[in-house]
Chains A and B, each alone.
Chain A
C-alpha cells in the first residue's frame, strides 16, 4: 500500500512544474550558469586589460636615457604600449584624467649618472587608480627594468646574488591535492547539499500536505481504509527522494560546469577531482544524505500539515531554512573538524563528515557516529510528523 501511495504521489509531483524546477532545473543549471557567468566576465575583462594599448608618457629632459631604452625594449607579451616623449609635465594630469594618456614616468635628468654610480633614482609614476590593472602593468615593467639594472650592478661590482638573499626558502607540502581540495573547498559541497536538499524537499512537502488540504483531497484520502502512517510514509518517501535528487543534480551540475568552462586548467587537479568521484565516495555521500533528507522531511511535514495555504507553508518554512543554513555554514569555517563532540551535533556532523570524505581522511567510527546520530534525529522527526499528521485540528480545514 505504501508503494501505491508513493507511486501516485511521485507521478503527481513529477507533473508539478514548480517541483521540477526546484528539483531538477535549478540544481542542474545554477552552477554551470554561475560558473559560466563568472568565468566569461572575468576572462573578458582580463583579455580586455591585456590587449589594451597603454599610452605611456616618459617625461625627461634627456630623452635617450637608459630607463627609456629599457622600457622600449620590454617585449609585447608584457602588454602592448606606445611611448610618448615629453620634456615637461604641462597638462599631464589633465590628460591622464581624461584617459588620453594612461601612465606617466618622470625620469630625473641625471638618471644615467645615478645608475652608473650605483645610486638610487627616484621615478615618479602618475596613474589613475580607478583603472585597475594599469598599476599592475606598470609594476611588471618596473620590475623588469629594475632586475636588468640589478644584474648589471652585480656584474659590475663582481658580487654574488646570495649576498642580498641570505635565505632560500623551500616549501615541501606533504598533504595530497585531494586533502587540500577536501579541506579548502570540501566545505562547499555539504553546504550545497543542504541548500538543494532542503529546497528539493520543500516544494513536494508543501504540495503533498498543504496542497492536499488546499485542494480538499486530504479528507477523501483519509476515508480510505489505509492506516495514516502508511499515507505518511508513502508521501515522505517522495519528499526524501526529491531532496536527494535535487542535491545529486546540483553535484552533477557542478562537475559538468567545471568541465564545460575549463575552470580547472591543471590536468593533475582534474585527475584529483575525478579521483574523488569514486563509486565508493558517491555511495558514502548518499548514505549520509538519506538520514539528512529524512530529517528535513520530518521537520517540514508538521509545518506543512499545520499550514492552510501554500503561501502560509512557504512563510513558515523560510525561517526554518535559515536555521538549517547556520550549521551548514560551519562546514565553510576553517579549523572545525569532525571529532567525538561534533559527530553528535545534527547537520554539523554531516557537513564535517562530507568534508572529510572529500579529503579522504574520514575516521570510519566518526562516520558511523555521525550517521547514527542523524538517523536518530530523523527517526524523532518522523515520529513528530506522525503525531502532527494524526492531529484532527491539522487535517480538517
Chain B
C-alpha cells in the first residue's frame, strides 16, 4: 500500500538555471500538495503531460528524492524516516532504466538480490521462476551489451522483481519500446495485480491505461487535478475517447 499525503517538492535553481528560465525565483516548484492512496491488488495510474511532475512524484515514492514537505508511507513505513526499510518493499522500473553493459544477466540479478538482502534459497527459486516466465535461460550468461532491447527489458523486469516487492512503481515503463517488448511490461503489470501487489504506473498512452488501470490521478503543473476510479472516470466522460477526455481535463485546468 502507498499513502501519499500533501507532498511538495522544490528544486533549488542555480544562477544559470534562473537565467535560462528567465526568473528571479531561487526555487522551482515541481510538485505541490499531492495526496493519493494506492491499494494492494489494484493498479493506480498517474497521468499527465510531459513536465507535469509524474517522474518527480514517482522518484519521491521510490526514495530517490526527498519531499520538501508531506509524507509518504510504503506499507505503513515512512520512507523519509526509515528509507532503507521502506525500500525493501519497492520495485522500481522505468522505460529509460539502464543496465550494467559489462555484466551478464545472471550477474546483475544476483547483485540486486544481494543488495535487497534476498536469501540464497529465495534467490534461486525466484530466479528460476522469472527466467522461465520471461524466457531468459538462453541469454542468462551473455553480457548486457550484446543483448537486444527486448532481452534487456526482460533483464530489467527480473531485476525489479527478484526481491518480490509488495509495491511496484513503473515510470513510463513502455516508452521507447516496440509493441512486442512493451507487451512483456503490460503482462508484468497485470501479473502484479493478480499477485495482490500495489502497483502505480505513470503513462501518457491511454490504451495502456484503459487496459490496466483501476484508479487514476491526473497531474498537471505539479498539482493533482483529478482523482477517481477508472470506472467513474469512464462513466463521467464528456468526450468520446479516453485520449480526448484526458486532453479536455488538462485544457480545462490550464
Contacts and interface: CB of A to CB of B under 8 A. Distances in A.
B65 interface: yes
A170 B102 CA distance: 66
B116 A224 contact: yes
Contacts of A219: 59, 64, 92, 94, 97
Given A220-B159, A223-B63, A392-B65, A215 B102 contact: no
A170 to B, nearest CB: 66
A221 B88 CA distance: 13
B107 A11 contact: yes
Interface in A353-397: 392-393, 395-396
Interface in A1-29: 1, 4-5, 8, 11-12, 15-16
Given A11-B107, A396-B64, A225 B100 contact: no
Given A215-B101, A227-B84, A393-B11, A4 B107 contact: no
Contacts of A396: 59, 64-65
Nearest to A219: B64
Interface string B21-65: 000000000000000000000000000000000000001001111
Interface string B195-238: 00000000000000000000000000000000000000000000
A48 B63 CA distance: 73
B249 interface: no
A48 to B, nearest CB: 50
Nearest to B171: A219
Contacts of A225: 83-88, 115-117
A221 B117 CA distance: 14
Contacts of A30: none
Contact of B92 (A8, A215, A223, A393): A223
B102 A12 contact: yes
B84 A226 contact: yes
A227 B87 CA distance: 11
Nearest to A231: B115
Interface residues of A, number: 24
A161 interface: no
A114 interface: no
Nearest to A395: B64
B247 interface: no
A391 to B, nearest CB: 10
Contact of B98 (A12, A216, A226, A395): A216
B88 to A, nearest CB: 5
A15 B159 CA distance: 21
A217 B100 contact: yes
B168 to A, nearest CB: 11
Interface residues of B, number: 34
A32 to B, nearest CB: 29
Contacts of B159: 220
Contacts of B127: none
A216 B115 contact: no
B94 A1 contact: no
A84 interface: no
Contacts of A221: 115
Contacts of B92: 219-220, 223
B182 interface: no
Nearest to A7: B111
Interface centre among A219, A224, A393 (most CB of B within 10 A): A224
A1 B88 CA distance: 14
B96 A216 contact: yes
A209 to B, nearest CB: 14
Given A215-B98, A223-B87, A225-B88, A11 B103 contact: yes
Interface string A201-226: 00000000000000111011111111
Contacts of A220: 92, 97-98, 159
A393 B65 contact: no
13 contacts: A4-B115, A8-B111, A15-B103, A217-B99, A219-B92, A220-B97, A222-B64, A223-B63, A224-B112, A226-B84, A226-B115, A396-B64, A396-B65
Given A4-B115, A392-B65, A393-B14, 18 more contacts: A1-B115, A5-B115, A8-B107, A8-B111, A12-B100, A12-B102, A15-B103, A215-B99, A217-B99, A219-B59, A222-B63, A223-B62, A223-B64, A223-B90, A225-B83, A225-B85, A225-B116, A395-B64
Interface of B: 11-12, 14, 59, 62-66, 83-88, 90, 92, 94, 96-103, 107, 111-112, 114-117, 159
Q: Which A-B residue pairs are the 3 nearest by beta carbons? A: A216-B98, A225-B87, A15-B102
